[in-house]
Amino acid sequence: MTASISDALLDWYGRNARALPWRVAPGAPMPDDPAWPYRVWLSEVMLQQTTVAAVKPYFEAFTQRWPTVEALAAAGEEEVMAAWAGLGYYSRARNLVKCAREVAARGGFPATEAELRELPGLGIYTAAAIAAIAFGRRAVVVDANVERVVARLFAIAEPLPGARKAIRDCAEAITPASRAGDFAQAMMDLGSRVCTTKAPRCLLCPLSPPCAARAAGIAESLPVKPAKKAKPERRGTAFWIERANGAGREVWLVTRPGRGMLGGMRALPDDGWSARSDGTGEAPVAGEWEPLGAVRHTFTHAHLTLAVRRGEAEPEGAGEWWPLDRLEEAGLPTLYAKAARLAIARGGWNDA
């Protein structure tokens, strides 16, 4: 049965594989290119909790700007963080730089799961994916899509996270000794395009005949997930400080501390909302502040309503004046980009 499952899936993948810039065609040999593991690693890090559609332009921009792991290792963390802006989960970008520097110091990527897991930011899934896709090693690759496919294929009804050991054991049983990379990507494609969370397309699924959940009529209910906890609400305030400079205008930006939420990113000065839930922090400098409205943003662990206030003040502490006509080059994370758009939409002073 296990051989027939992998054969059926690989046959389906040969006809239906997505063409992605970090992939080779099904059944094709791995490229004889030292940058190949780098491209696989970069794509896997970017794809963590992020859609393929969102990742594509970032992947292409990164590989054009830093075509090798050595080039990325030589880049400044600030410029990498700016290039990552908008992709979210910014600890990935910080680990990206750390990992690139470690790999460059080693002289290249290691090929085994155990060695890959020693690198910064690489967990069980990412190490297995790189070992399989970049090096052709047999590895059990289980992301959320694979988890769903396997839970349904074997009708594993135990709720998550307790079911994960059984899911991994079953994934181990059906992973073939050869074409491990194709198999892993085929499972991911099947989960994202056919065996979807809602309304799975069972009639189009190559694994429909042996699927125990389909036979029992419970496919859509698996895997069983725990109830989601309500996210707490946070409030905070960002401050827009603008000045005229010759023919243009500039806004004051700061760099957030390296640790903590949005660490190391350029941002508008704020009241320290990341350490509070009530938005009662003080303005970074004394002054008269005009309310412009608020933006709302959702993080993994909380919702944030960020009020935006504008004023004329002399900034204190470290920061930089940034030209308004080049603000998109600052690499503001999505939260502060929203706040900036609100401030700009409400207009500056002396616009006439």
Q: Between 318 and 132, whose confidence is greater?
A: 132
Structure confidence by residue, pLDDT tens digits, 250-306: 999 998 887 777 888 899 999 887 655 455 567 677 778 899 999 999 988 889 999
237 strand-pairing partners: 307
Structure confidence by residue, pLDDT tens digits, 219-260: 999 999 988 888 889 999 999 999 888 778 899 999 888 777
The pTM of this model reads 0.81
Q: Are 333 and 262 a contacting pair, CB within 8 Å?
A: yes
44, 113, 147, 242: which is the annotated catalytic residue?
Answer: 44
63 pLDDT above the threshold of 70: yes
As given in the structure block, the two tokens for residue 261 are 């939420």
pLDDT at position 149: 98
3-state secondary structure of 245: strand
pLDDT at position 348: 52
44 labelled catalytic = yes
Residues 28-36 have a mean pLDDT of 90
219-237: string of b/e by CB count within 10 Å (b at 16+)?
A: beebbeeeeeeeeeebbbb
At residue 349 the predicted structure's pLDDT band, cuts being 50, 70 and 90, is very low
Residues 307-326 have a mean pLDDT of 87
User: Between helices 144-153 and 164-174, what is the axis angle to 10°?
Assistant: 80
pLDDT at position 279: 53
| DSSP per residue, 267-290 | E--B--GGG-SS--PPPSS-S--E
Structure confidence by residue, pLDDT tens digits, 262-275: 888 899 999 887 65
Q: Are 335 and 294 a contacting pair, CB within 8 Å?
A: no
Task: Identify the structural domains of the chain with CATH numbers, from first to last.
Answer: 2-221 (1.10.340.30), 233-345 (3.90.79.10)
68 pLDDT above the threshold of 70: yes
